[in-house]
Structure 1
Amino acid sequence: MVVLGGGLAGTLAAAALAPHVREVLVLEHDSVLPEAPAPRPRLPQAAHAHILWAGGADAMEELLPGVTAEWLAAGAHRIPIPNGMVSFSPAGWYRRSWPDTHYLIGASRNLIDWAVRARVLRLPNVRVQTGSKVCGLEGDAARVLGVVVRDAQDERRLVAADLVVDATGRGSRSTRWLRDIGGPEVRETVVDAGVRYASRRYRAPEGAETNWPVIHIPADPRQDRPGLFATIISIENGQWHVSLSGTRGGEPSAGEDLFEVFARRVRHPLVAELLARAEPVSEVSVFTRTANRRRHFEQAALPEGFIVLGDAATSLNPVYGHGMSAAARGAVALRDLARRTSLLSPGFSSKAQRAIARPAAAAWTLAVGQDRFYPGAVGGKPSLVDRLGARYVHRLNHTAIGNAMVVRRLTDVMTMRRPAHILGLPDVLLAALLGSRMPLLDGPELMPREQEVLDRPPLRSAGASAAEPGK
């Protein structure tokens, strides 16, 4: 079999199917893949903060036992949820006194990808071929027989395969490739709030290098104005990865002198206050390819021998942090099907595409259920169902401030460990009807060490970033 793309989704697909095939060939466009956690030219989003929720990390551990230990040994953090998250929901500050039930992995995207790729490429029947540009599919509307590749010498050749998995990301050309061989038109849905990211790494203040919570100030989609977000997450090397984002009409600037100014414009200045006590160690990176884009391959009459996984099928607004986890859950679904059914059996590709689509659809619902409400969002105004759903989610957020069971259910869904329909179970509905059992907090619930960092004198005046990163 052949996997197109050596990124996270592609290597997870290889891990999922390697036990069930003679050989997996991963075709990668880049001429070189890093042998250490380092940037890749075709992965600009790696410069931005990434959250790997428990559901995604669990899935990767299932596929590649030991990968979590490898992340942690390289400096990643296992951050408990909810205790390890300071979050100002649209309904108020979440408490942190509930029992920890979930976790997330705090690490750079470069580290996460590297550890997965290194373990996959150690599998005896997996090999990677770099410098390979895929030009199209070989086959017809009934079956894909392989791919046409242009190599580093600009020569075209056919790579035959019983199964082709497209994991080439947001820029996938699968819909065009399918048309070129007489395949189906694939329906596409786009919801775009016009989100722009600006991210920067900081050296964590002394004493805040480890066991530091995620700080998350999300937007309130009920307000009729652009949504502004700010997130701090601890990564390796004693650093904080900081991402600021704004929807259409409220986009952050790429200017270093405006980075912390923007952080003060979100719904609470906690992120800005913490940044004023840390030193920047990188330039500001921006990213704008953030539209939610769903290509409905699961509804199309796909030819046998062809599957699409990850962002190539469903790409999500990264502000919610579900892209990696959705790809990983999709890879597990692919593995589970391969355990029950031969890859060469009739209908395998269609069954696989439907299985892959289920976790992606859940993440899609969470993202577009928010993004449709922001001013200027492209992709249709919120329907009555959207509005009722948003009101219910807000009620759940309000209830979660004083109800441990609702906190557990919300984080079950947010971490992608359980499907969203559990939020409609009778016990959750009853709790939402009764509302919060405790009063709202008047500010973030900080532990003594966290408050001590905040009490230190700022290194810079309010809203001003250091002129020389790392100095």
Structure 2
Amino acid sequence: MLAARALVGHAHTVTIVERDVLPDGPEPRRGLPQARHAHLLWSGGLRAVENLVPGATEQLLAAGAHRLALTTDMVALAPQGWFRRWPASHHLLLAGRDLLDATIRAQVLDDDRIRLVERTEVVGLVGTSAAVTGVRVRGADGTERTLAADLVVDATGRASRAPRWLAALGLPAPARREVDSGLAYASRVYLAPEQARGGYPVVNVQPDPRAGGPGRGAVLLPIEGGRWLVTLSGTRGGEPPATDDDFLRFPLEELRHPVIGELLAGAEPLTEVAFTRSTVNRRHHYERMARWPENFTVLGDALAAYNPVYGHGMSVAAQSAVALREVIRRDGWGAPGLARRAQRAMARPVNAAWDLATSQDVFYPGATHGGPTLRERLVAAYVDRLLLTATGNGRVARRLTDVTSLERGAEVLFTPGVLLAAAVGPLRPPLAGPPLTSEEFKAVGL
């Protein structure tokens, strides 16, 4: 939807080819099973969404979404210790994925220039290795036809078949990097205790990839309707339970701290457990290809997919859609080499999110074929040091949230002041437990 919105005003007609039948409101759909698990929009991503769909933030908040400050409204246990709830730097937006999609979808499709073709699947590109001229699509009845296009954007997500489509045109496979920690997700929605329904911080217990053995974690996100979306995670050998009866045992007994299990003791489960293993970090380096066809671009999870625990996928996709629009505005619709320049521009928002995601996952057994690269080891060591420093240094915590919120690039972590602070380490002693306030404990009966 955001890619379509980015193209409006440049193309005469924007056609969205969709396998599903899209619901009218915030309802589940078959083609988005990951919607049952934790989602969030960092402020950098929300800014991009608002840039493309003005008013979306206001509509989401009116529908019950939560806008929480970083790190004031977060209670997080990192591998290096508990983070303090420093004064607000940036923010994040929390809502169920169905509400988020429905809100954006309603605005995007309320435009006569955008045409939606449902129950239809793209089966290949039309054109040559030099230029794409359209796509072949297959309808629900099995009939195939060709849709001509001046520009084709692949936003088909993790299941993208772009490498196969490009190979069919005679182009080589792109360089690809995968980091698979074997992570599994189990999620459930709860009705929060009555006193905690007006707003509650994010609570996050992260695994420690250096501790040896499986990494187990959990996150509690307040969403609309006074509900909590709780996602449990575990790598190979430490997978969370897929059954309702065992769900609560995991955060109470298997995590580095039982706080999330304790919070859930007074909450009412509203759904069954949803389970998934679709968590591989996968990046296609299309921007490095020696040859790239005119009129074809790839963005979103089709370009780079991340372990969802870091919450960057939607934000990076939104920023990539903005980058696509800006290249078209600058160079003009149909300019020679436009697709290649757009592909390189869309890869830039990927970089910081990729390093943050893989700096942890790469150390789990079996995550990569050859183990961490030298660069990944160096990045991970520096990130570890920054995280430790941020537990007791508010200025470094602010710089980290600059990057994790996708408001600024990773270069802010390499300024002389940050490098010196990392060398010194935390300025305050570690916290002994989760920094929930007495009112927050009381709201859940603790």
Which bracket does the TM-score occupy, shorter chain normalised? Answer: over 0.9
Does 1:70 pair with 2:59?
yes
Q: 1:43: which partner in 2?
A: 32
Aligned to 1:87, what secondary structure does the other structure show? Answer: strand
Q: 1:465: which partner in 2?
A: none
List alignment gaps of at least 5 residues for structure 1. Answer: 1-10, 457-471
Q: 1:342: which partner in 2?
A: 332
Letter of the 2:319 counterpart: R
Q: Please give the per-residue CA displacement for 1:267-295, whole angstroms capped at 9, x wherever unaligned.
A: 11000100111110000000101111111
Given the alignment, which residue of 210, 230, 233 partners 2:221?
233
Given the alignment, which residue of 399, 404, 422 partners 1:414?
404
Cα distance in 1 for residues equivalent to 2:307 and 2:242: 19
Q: Please give the per-residue CA displacement for 1:411-458, whole angstroms capped at 9, x wherever unaligned.
A: 0111111111211111101111222121111111112221103444xx
Does 1:115 pair with 2:103?
yes
Contact 1:90–1:218 (CA under 8 A) maintained in structure 2? yes
Alpha carbons of structure 1 residues 307 and 259: separation in structure 2 relative to 1, 3 Å: same
Cα distance in 1 for residues equivalent to 2:83 and 2:394: 11
Letter of the 2:73 counterpart: G
Q: How do 1:206-285 residues align onto structure 2 when only pairs under 5 Å count?
A: 206-264=194-252, 265-285=254-274
Note the C-alpha offset of 1:40.
1.2
Cα distance in 2 for residues equivalent to 1:216 and 1:401: 14
Runs of 4+ in 1 over 4 A off after TM superposition: none
Note the C-alpha offset of 1:129.
0.9
Cα distance in 1 for residues equivalent to 2:415 and 2:326: 27
Aligned to 1:416, what secondary structure does the other structure show? Answer: coil
Cα distance in 2 for residues equivalent to 1:424 and 1:361: 15
Alpha carbons of structure 1 residues 238 and 224: separation in structure 2 relative to 1, 3 Å: same
Q: 2:124: which partner in 1?
A: 136
Question: Mean alpha-carbon deviation: is it higher for 17-26 or for 393-402?
Answer: 393-402
Letter of the 1:140 counterpart: T
Does 1:295 pair with 2:284?
yes
Q: 1:402: which partner in 2?
A: 392
Cα distance in 1 for residues equivalent to 2:204 and 2:99: 22
- Percent sequence identity is 52
Given the alignment, which residue of 183, 193, 199 partners 2:171?
183
Given the alignment, which residue of 8, 16, 23 partners 1:34?
23
Aligned to 2:51, what secondary structure does the other structure show? Answer: helix
Cα distance in 2 for residues equivalent to 1:99 and 1:238: 25
Cα distance in 2 for residues equivalent to 1:260 and 1:411: 30
Note the C-alpha offset of 1:121.
0.7
Cα distance in 2 for residues equivalent to 1:312 and 1:92: 34
Cα distance in 1 for residues equivalent to 2:103 and 2:370: 39
Question: Mean alpha-carbon deviation: is it higher for 440-449 or for 213-222?
Answer: 440-449
Given the alignment, which residue of 281, 284, 307 partners 2:297?
307
Note the C-alpha offset of 1:189.
1.5
Given the alignment, which residue of 344, 352, 357 partners 1:354?
344
Q: How do 1:368-447 residues align onto structure 2 when only pairs under 5 Å count?
A: 368-447=358-437
Note the C-alpha offset of 1:343.
2.7
How many residue pairs align between the two structures? 444
Letter of the 2:25 counterpart: A
Q: 1:8: which partner in 2?
A: none
Cα distance in 2 for residues equivalent to 1:309 and 1:165: 7
Contact 2:220–2:260 (CA under 8 A) maintained in structure 1? yes
Q: 1:21: which partner in 2?
A: 11
Does 1:82 pair with 2:71?
yes
Letter of the 2:22 counterpart: L
Cα distance in 2 for residues equivalent to 1:411 and 1:277: 31
Cα distance in 2 for residues equivalent to 1:61 and 1:379: 40
Note the C-alpha offset of 1:182.
2.0
Per the normalisation by structure 2, the TM-score is: 0.97
